[in-house]
């Protein structure tokens, strides 16, 4: 009788262990499948986000190019462009500088953001051209007198659409003599911004 009881207990134990083993295996399989599904869902989500970002970038770039085409035609025909201060792309957003939002929208210049500016792109470009003429002049006139050549202190200059100014980088920002001479060479000296720099990163995006 005692042997039968022991045998029964042994059989029950084996059944319980076998059942638990099947339960664990099933749980691990289900859990693994759930983890895989979550992983692939995350991959799909990332892929969809990248696709959306790429489409947004393409749209922004196409709008930028369309605006450029419109403005190039206007520059050629010498029509009024005083409302347009240039444009640039920042963090996948097309920024258009303007001093007349209603006018620029009427001219079909699209943007994600219309940002206020004081000077038109044409004014900045005129100042830039005057500075180029100044550089040519001083490089010829002061070729022999290198010591007094104001270009010795000028590193570089260029149009900054974001700052709506023509930036001039000087080795010595306290050189008032150079600054005064440069201002006399341009018709709108208030479009200038002097900074101390060894090199100006030119941003002449229009």
- As given in the structure block, the two tokens for residue 76 are 């050629």
Q: Provide the pLDDT for residue 14.
A: 40
Q: Are 44 and 36 in contact (CB under 8 A)?
A: no
Q: Provide the pLDDT for residue 113.
A: 92
Q: Is the pLDDT score of 27 beyond 50?
A: no
Q: Is the pLDDT score of 29 beyond 80?
A: no
Q: Where are the alpha helices (DSSP H) in 99-197?
A: 101-106, 121-141, 176-184
Per-residue pLDDT tens digits for 127-169 = 999 999 988 877 765 555 566 677 788 888 999 999 999 999 9
179 vs 50 pLDDT, higher one:
179
Interior/surface letters 49-84, b for 16+ CB within 10 angstroms, e for the rest = eeeeeeeeeeebeebbeebeeebeebeeeeeebebb
The neighbouring-strand residues paired with 180 are none
Q: Provide the pLDDT for residue 62.
A: 87
Q: Is the pLDDT score of 191 beyond 70?
A: yes
Q: What are phi and psi of 156, to 5 degrees?
A: -170, 160
Output Rg (C-alpha) for the chain, integer angstroms: 35
Q: Are 200 and 126 in contact (CB under 8 A)?
A: no
Average pLDDT, the chain: 75
Q: Is the pLDDT score of 48 beyond 80?
A: no
Q: Provide the pLDDT for residue 49.
A: 56
Burial class (CB in 10 A: 0-12, 13-18, 19+), 182: buried
Predicted confidence band at 70 (pLDDT cuts at 50, 70, 90)?
Answer: confident
Percent of the chain with pLDDT over 70: 65
Q: Provide the pLDDT for residue 12.
A: 42
């Amino acid at each position: 009788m005692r042997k039968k009881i022991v045998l029964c207990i042994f059989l029950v134990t084996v059944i319980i262990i076998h059942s638990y083993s099947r339960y664990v295996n099933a749980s691990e399989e289900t859990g693994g499948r759930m983890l895989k599904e979550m992983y692939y869902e995350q991959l799909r989500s990332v892929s969809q986000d990248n696709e959306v970002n790429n489409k947004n970038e393409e749209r922004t770039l196409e709008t930028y190019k369309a605006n450029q085409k419109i403005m190039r035609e206007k520059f050629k025909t010498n029509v009024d462009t005083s409302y347009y201060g240039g444009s640039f792309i920042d963090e996948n957003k097309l920024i258009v500088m303007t001093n007349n939002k209603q006018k620029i929208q009427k001219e079909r210049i699209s943007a994600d953001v219309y940002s206020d500016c004081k000077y038109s792109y044409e004014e900045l470009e005129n100042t830039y051209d005057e500075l180029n003429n100044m550089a040519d002049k001083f490089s010829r006139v002061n070729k022999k007198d290198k010591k007094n050549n104001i270009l010795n202190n000028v590193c570089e200059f260029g149009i900054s659409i974001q700052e709506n100014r023509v930036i001039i980088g000087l080795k010595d920002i306290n050189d008032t003599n150079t600054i005064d001479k440069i201002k006399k060479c341009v018709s709108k000296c208030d479009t200038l911004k002097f900074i101390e720099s060894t090199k100006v990163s030119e941003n002449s995006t229009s």
